[in-house]
């Protein structure tokens, strides 16, 4: 057994001895110095009180029924049976009849018709159906083509001038009854000149096309010529 083991065992023994002395310190004192135990409080059972032990105060007697009066009871009458002599008979007053001034006029017929007859029903007018757009026709031998009355020259595009592009643009134009161009379609196209040609034709104005004396829409071909001036 080594020295360290002896020292550790001795240290444990000393600590255990000290703890034992601290735990039994009260037992080493004289008995006269020991603490006095607390006195246990005793509770008494409550006393049962009976109703016979409680004295009630004297109560005065209340009279619930009234004492009948002496003598015979006379009945009460709601209304007098005999007519009193001092009451005069009621005199009825006639109110004067009020008369209306003026002569009454004839009573009109509530149905706004002749007397004895019922007015005929008011006819209901339905709006005419909307007119369907007419189909444009094409020029033929029995119809005269419209004449151009307003001409707007096309604006030569700058890109076409620089590229020296010339030529003719052919457009199919739809003209309504008033001679206005409502629709255009390219039949022969030049890419640098198409937009300028269509913009010019849209502003042209034609005379109305007549078929049997009535204006009709028409589809016709127009040309726009672009030429560079030297």
Phi, psi (deg, nearest 5) at residue 182:
-105, -20
Pairing of strands 209-211, 205-206: unpaired
pLDDT of residue 210: 87
* 148-226 classified as CATH 3.30.70.890: no
Q: Which residue has the higher pLDDT, 206 or 80?
A: 206
221 pLDDT higher than 90? yes
**What's residue 150's pLDDT?**
95
Contact assessment for residue 193 and residue 226, using Cβ atoms and an 8 Å cutoff: yes
Residue 130 pLDDT level (bands cut at 50, 70, 90): low
Residue 191: pLDDT above 60? Answer: yes
51-94 pLDDT, tens digit per residue, is: 665 666 666 655 555 555 565 656 565 555 666 666 666 666 66
- pLDDT > 90: percent of the chain: 32
What are the pLDDT digits (tens) for 8-58?
A: 888 888 888 888 887 877 666 666 666 666 655 655 666 666 666 566 666
Q: What is the pLDDT of residues 151-180, one digit of tens each?
A: 999 999 999 999 999 999 999 999 999 999
Domain range annotation of the chain: 148-226
Secondary structure of the chain as H, E, C letters:
CCHHHHHHHHHHHHHHHHHHHHHCHHHHCCHHHCCCCCCCCCCCCCCCCCHHHCCCCCCCCCCCCCCCCCCCCCCCCCCCCCCCCCCCCCCCCCCCCCCCCCCCCCCCCCCCCCCCCCCCCCCCCCCCCCCCCCCCECCCCCCCCCCEEECCCCCCCHHHHHCCCCEEEEEEEEECCCCEEEEEEEEECCCCCHHHHHHHHCCCEECCEEECCEEECEEEEEEEEECCCC
Distance CA 155, CA 132 (A): 37
Q: Model-level pTM?
A: 0.43
Return the structure tokens found at 200. Answer: 């010019």
Which of 227, 216, 217 is closest to 173 using CA atoms? 217
pLDDT at 19: 86
Whether 220 has a pLDDT exceeding 60, the answer reads: yes
């Amino acid at each position: 057994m080594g020295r360290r083991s002896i020292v550790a065992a001795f240290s444990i023994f000393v600590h255990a001895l000290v703890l034992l002395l601290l735990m039994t310190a009260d037992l080493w004192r004289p008995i006269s110095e020991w603490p006095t135990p607390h006195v246990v409080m005793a509770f008494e059972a409550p006393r049962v009180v009976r109703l016979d032990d409680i004295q009630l105060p004297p109560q005065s007697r209340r009279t619930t029924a009234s004492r009948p009066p002496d003598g015979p009871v006379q009945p009460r009458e709601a209304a007098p049976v005999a007519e009193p002599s001092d009451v005069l008979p009621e005199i009825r007053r006639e109110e004067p009849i009020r008369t209306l001034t003026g002569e009454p006029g004839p009573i009109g017929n509530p149905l706004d018709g002749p007397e004895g007859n019922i007015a005929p029903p008011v006819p209901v007018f339905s709006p005419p159906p909307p007119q369907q757009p007419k189909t444009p026709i094409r020029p033929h031998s029995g119809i005269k083509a419209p004449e151009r009355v307003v001409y707007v020259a096309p604006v030569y595009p700058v890109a076409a001038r620089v590229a020296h592009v010339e030529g003719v643009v052919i457009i199919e134009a739809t003209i309504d009854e008033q001679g206005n161009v409502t629709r255009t379609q390219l039949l022969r196209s030049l890419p640098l000149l198409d937009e300028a040609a269509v913009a010019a034709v849209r502003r042209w104005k034609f005379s109305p096309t007549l078929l049997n004396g009535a204006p009709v829409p028409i589809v016709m071909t127009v040309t726009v010529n672009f030429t560079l001036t030297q």
